[in-house]
A and B are shown apart, each in its own frame.
Chain A
Amino acid sequence: MNSQENKTMIEVENLSKTFWIAEDKKETLKSYVLSILNQNKSKMFNVLTDVNFSIKQGEFVGIIGRNGSGKSTLLKLIADIYAPTSGRVKVNGRIIPFLELGVGFNPELSGEENIYLNGTLLGMTNAHIKQKYDEIVEYSGLEGFMKTPVKNYSSGMKVRLGFSIAIQTDGDIYLLDEIMSVGDAEFRKKSLASILELIEKKKTILYVTHSLASISKYCTRCLWLNRGIVKFDGSPDKALTRYEDALKNIEELKASK
């Protein structure tokens, strides 16, 4: 058991990600031609610069940082949605992404059809989803809406359904992006309980949030990203103290100006 607990689940080495931010998207011939004549229009934007860390099994890692610091991009790189510009991400196990929950649904299809579509996208088989179907529906609390097209769902309902499918999928690594702030109080409580269950099962969790209280309460480790650079990697309490100090400094700087 001990050796398993020390298994490295995610290894990030010299990871950098650069986006080309074009002021006009170069999607047509005219803008192609114009962009050649006018090269300064698009610029490089380094979202992540030389990020290094490794995560072991059973760790619950909180990721903090201001908007635009690269948190979500980091998760998408680990989830293999984006390709790194340089460096590499090594993942050892099956990833369950909880990214932009509810966005991936097909609005024209019913809740039931979306459960099957989404479930297979996460790697389940239809037979397995059939087995779990009742559980998923019950968890979401949307029993009466399974034949309704998802376009008629509220955003809260979509998120609940998305969470319910993902949480029923067996994986090794769970990527959570701001998910504890979704749904009503009751659903939040339920989802938190499920996440705590994952921790007990020694699953590895990466958790992006702006809620600092939940980081100090649950996480075993905290990564602080600032403008794409890892500013701190270690105990949550230390990370939060430094992060809050930095935020205060920024405010003081602004106030003094």
Chain B
Amino acid sequence: MQKSVISKRDLLINLVKANFKMRYQNSVLGILWVLIKPYATFLVLYYIRVNAGKAPIENYGLYLLIGIVFYGFISEMITFGQMALLDKSNIILKVSFPKEIALLSSLANAVINLLINTILILILAFTAGVQITPIGILYFILVSITAFVWGLGISFFTSVFTIRFRDLKNIMELALFLFYWATPIFFVAEKDSLAGGSSFMALNPVGILINQVRAGFNIYSSIEYSTILIYLVLGLIVCYLGSKFFNRQVKKIAEYF
């Protein structure tokens, strides 16, 4: 797999460009939408929270923004990855090319959006006077890579399943919506007493990842290398199994479009 990806690098670049253009080309605000969506959500939730009383923790604004942006990243990887093959059915039916490139190109767009939003986080952190260390930034990158590995691993499965079972798109949308409220994005697990909820919260892997991103920015949590390494290793296993499944199944999908 590795070899073919490298020799088809230009294809990957062109597909990423095409995806990106398609998404924002015909809109007036274009690429600004990448920022508007999370920032508008942020403003609404921040207003509600701070108006309801005082902010639950120090630097709550940054806590909230990181939660929204990183959940958005995970959610986009899941949605884009799932639709990666279906969206490209017209070219898959016309020419044979390494299909993992279709997958990577879709996930790459989620990564680009994360990069753009990271600038926003950095600006807010800077204005709030939060201390950002090089190690913190490196840790943030490590957590993002871990999330990406999981996103890719899951997409290896869902991109193929979705072709045979279209309902999966709606199922995943619903799951992502529900998960949004089961993840400490706008509430703070220890401060907001949620009867019985906190034990589930502690096991929620998305919540753990988001808290580790926060740790990288010196907000709320502290860095736990061992946790992230376990997640990374597990993610790589899922990726390995996923790519095996994907490469076996992807040849058979053309007739199901």
Q: Is B one of A's binding partners?
A: yes
Chain A residues near B14 (CB-CB < 8 A): 113, 116-117, 120, 126
Contact A120-B165, Cβ < 8 Å, known A81-B93, A82-B254, A113-B21:
no
Interface size of B as a range: 20 to 34
B1 CB to closest chain A CB (Å) equals: 16
B19 to A, closest residue via Cβ: A106
> When chains A and B are docked, how far (Å) is the Cα of A27 from the Cα of B166?
5
Indicate if the CB atoms of A81 and B18 lie closer than 8 Å.
no
Chain B residues near A113 (CB-CB < 8 A): 14, 17-18, 21
**CB interface residues, B 51-104, toward A, < 8 Å:** 90-97
A29, CB-defined interface residue at 8 Å: yes
Chain B residues near A82 (CB-CB < 8 A): 254-255
Indicate if the CB atoms of B10 and A83 lie closer than 8 Å.
no
Query: Interface segment, A59-67, A97-105, A181-189, A193-201?
Result: A97-105
Indicate if the CB atoms of B10 and A126 lie closer than 8 Å.
yes
Indicate if the CB atoms of B97 and A121 lie closer than 8 Å.
yes
B contact patch SS: helix
Chain A residues near B94 (CB-CB < 8 A): 81, 97, 99-100, 103-104, 121
B15, CB-defined interface residue at 8 Å: yes
Interface 0/1 of B9-33, CB less than 8 Å to A: 0110111011001100110000000
A73 to B, closest residue via Cβ: B255
Indicate if the CB atoms of B21 and A121 lie closer than 8 Å.
no
Indicate if the CB atoms of A120 and B18 lie closer than 8 Å.
no
A196 CB to closest chain B CB (Å) equals: 24
Indicate if the CB atoms of A104 and B91 lie closer than 8 Å.
yes
Indicate if the CB atoms of B22 and A109 lie closer than 8 Å.
yes
A170, CB-defined interface residue at 8 Å: no
B244, CB-defined interface residue at 8 Å: no
B37, CB-defined interface residue at 8 Å: no
* Given pairs A32-B165, A76-B254, 20 additional interface contacts (CB within 8 A): A27-B166, A27-B167, A28-B166, A81-B92, A81-B94, A81-B96, A97-B96, A103-B93, A104-B90, A104-B93, A104-B94, A108-B21, A108-B22, A108-B25, A109-B18, A113-B21, A117-B18, A121-B97, A123-B8, A126-B13
**A residues within 8 Å of B by Cβ?**
19, 27-29, 32, 76, 79-83, 95, 97, 99-100, 103-104, 106, 108-109, 113, 116-117, 120-127
Q: List 24 A-B contacts (CB under 8 A).
A: A27-B166, A27-B167, A28-B166, A28-B167, A82-B254, A82-B255, A83-B251, A97-B95, A100-B94, A104-B91, A104-B93, A104-B94, A106-B18, A108-B25, A113-B14, A113-B17, A113-B18, A113-B21, A117-B14, A120-B8, A120-B14, A121-B94, A123-B97, A125-B10
